[in-house]
Structure 1
């Protein structure tokens, strides 16, 4: 999955599975490699599934998946992909972080799919990388790691690492790898076998942009997402876009039929829903992370938008799956 590979065949790729990983993302990354081997008539790729303890890992759909090895066993791979989905940091400890640092030290190319980037960021291994992850988790990631460039693309592949947004984007990442290693013809054969209608580019967005905003509004939205914990004033947001506050409000009403203040609140409460559903943070911690000074004001705003209190949502979302 790394940008270039000049080693012997088969290319060895490791997949570290963390509890509640997205099975569709994992299989979408592996199946194109398997099909490429079949069409090539030789083993171009080989993959190894890894868990922290060597035991089967339960995916977000509740199905356990057996692995080949643990992080405590010798591992010989050229690329290592961290596979996660919900609550990616729940199992992160010093042992895992040290193991990831060791993999980087022995020149293993590191990457992630879905929310696996949280784990690499927590290890301090993404400082030079442009990363992507599932769009639902982007606001939380940007708020937690503001120094890391995180974009809403399907996948990113550079010398610093490789990242896929999850689900079908993992398929695009694998097809891109096949194309760069073994040419367009083989990638085309694999794509047709998968009935994948088009070869999507790395910079393709995860979600279609119906009614995409003009650049000035896009800059304002980006500023909102960078300042969810300590919200900026509408005047400060307008200044970032070289607009007056009145101009900004007029443009927002024309684009979305809502004021900048309403949009900002929605984005803060969207992050709050993500944290309430997929993290173990207290309600007060979530309130503070989303720019609320008190749990009571946060709960009222949350219930107005989502129709349920954050505590009730957390209680009812034990089996929530993407």
Structure 2
């Protein structure tokens, strides 16, 4: 019996990582490096993984680096962990055949995770129906609208049964630490976090922030609270005076905090935050410009266009057209 238990303990956790073109290298690293580090900490192969792509060819990531893979994502396939990493232009990289393969393969894994846009693939495949799930904070509203049968929440990562979803690279790192803690124990997870000098392990229910505040949250809690309030009120922005009242500090103090720490004014930072969200929607969605303007707190399309042009030196329509043209050119290059 003791020998059998030892044999079970020594067996490696089998992981399959599926990565699609135009994914983030940080999301890929957040999956692979915690497993590598767990092997290092354990002094043996506790994780064994294969890297697959939809067609078995090297995958170009958003940074331009091609990632070699071990093979094609195809049947039959099984193991302990199935982790699907997606990025931009999913409809171009994952069609009905990919979704059918995902549906069938999911039956043969103990855990199935959608990472960044990989959560959309789990949603489209029907694997998340009736479950809780999350997506990147920029896409939460669109994700909820696309899959009304899901309970979409803004947590860093979500585990509902064997199906997991993660909203970005940093939450994915947290998710992998959580997997390591479940499989190998909390001490191993802490050892892995320490290798990367990662000193704040988040729980899955921590809310995804629009802005990563780092040490500001502990050092300047009033500034952090102001930014979080701005995040929550993008659609109906408040005046600086109203922000100060809500935060129970003087307007002068609020202005001093932003000037001292961020070298800008509260109003300018608020506007920049709204425009950053708008910029993502302009480039990466087909949402009408008028709806983007309203969603980001602009009373009229003309006011939105003026502010956007000042920030990005192009109108929203021109920016969307240029981005689509670049996507078409990239697709053509990939077929050569």
State the distance in 1 between where 2:11 and 2:21 align: 31
SS at match of 1:80: strand
1:177 and 1:306, CA in 2 relative to 1: closer, same or farther beyond 3 A? Answer: same
1:277 to 276, 280, 283: 283
Alpha carbons 1:50, 1:71 under 8 Å: kept: yes
1:151-195 CA distances to partner (integer Å, 9 max, x unpaired)?
A: 222222231411222222221111111111111221121111111
Q: How do 1:12-51 residues align onto structure 2 when only pairs under 5 Å count? A: 12-51=14-53
Alignment partner of 1:310 is 2:313: no
2:70 to 59, 68, 71: 68
2:121 aligned with 1:119: yes
CA change 1:94–1:268 in 2 (3 A) is farther
SS of the counterpart of 1:153?
A: coil
Residue from 178, 182, 185 that aligns with 1:183: 185
The 8 Å contact of residues 78 and 105 in structure 2, kept in 1 or not, is answered as no
Mean Cα deviation higher: 199-208 or 29-38: 199-208
Separation of aligned partners in 2, 1:193 and 1:203? 24
Larger fraction in helix: 2
Which residue is 2:173 aligned to? Answer: 171
Preserved contact between residue 83 and residue 116 of structure 1 (Cα < 8 Å): yes
Quick check: which has more Rg, 1 or 2? Answer: 2
Q: Is 2:25–2:61's contact at 8 Å kept on the other side of the alignment?
A: yes
Question: Which residue number in structure 2 is paired with residue 109 of structure 1?
Answer: 111
Runs of 5+ unmatched residues, structure 1: 1-5, 225-233, 235-249, 258-265
Equivalent of 2:225 in 188, 206, 211? 211
9-18 vs 102-111, which deviates more?
A: 102-111
Q: Distance in 2 between matches of 1:121 and 1:289?
A: 24
Shift of 1:124: 1.7
1:249-296, Cα deviation, whole Å (9 max, x unpaired):
x98895499xxxxxxxx99987664343124x4xxx63486598xxxx
Once residues 14 and 298 of structure 1 are traced to their aligned partners in structure 2, the CA distance between those partners, rounded to angstroms, is 48
Q: Distance in 2 between matches of 1:268 and 1:126?
A: 31
Relative contact order higher in (CA < 8 Å, ≥ 6 apart):
1
1:27 is displaced (CA, Å) by 0.6
Q: CA deviation at 1:71?
A: 2.0
1:89 to 88, 91, 99: 91
After superposition, give the CA deviation of every residue in 1:41-94 in whole Å (9 maximum; x if it has no partner). Answer: 221111111111000111111111011111235323222111012233332311
1:199 pairs with 201, 214, 221, which one? Answer: 201
Question: In the aligned structure 2, how far is the partner of 1:184 from the partner of 1:120?
Answer: 28
C-alpha displacement of 1:22 = 0.9
Q: Retained in 1: the 8 A contact 2:59–2:66?
A: yes
Mapped to 1, the partners of 2:127 and 2:277 lie a distance apart of 24
- Judged with a 3 Å threshold, the aligned counterparts in structure 2 of structure 1 residues 16 and 116 are, in CA distance, closer, same or farther, namely same
- Contact conserved, 1:139 with 1:271, CA < 8 A, in 2? no
Residue aligned with 1:89, SS:
helix
Query: C-alpha distance in 2, partners of 1:159/1:107?
Result: 12
Change in Cα spacing, 1:144 to 1:221, as seen in structure 2 (3 Å) is: farther
1:53 corresponds to: 55
Query: When the two structures are superposed, what TM-score results if normalisation uses the length of structure 1?
Result: 0.71
Superposition CA RMSD, Å: 3.6
Conserved 8 A contact 1:272-1:286: no
More deviation, 180-189/52-61: 180-189
8 Å Cα contact 1:114-1:166 kept in structure 2: yes
- Structure 2, unmatched stretches of 5+, are 1-7, 218-223, 252-271, 328-336
How many matched pairs?
272
The DSSP-based 3-state class of the residue aligned with 2:91 is coil
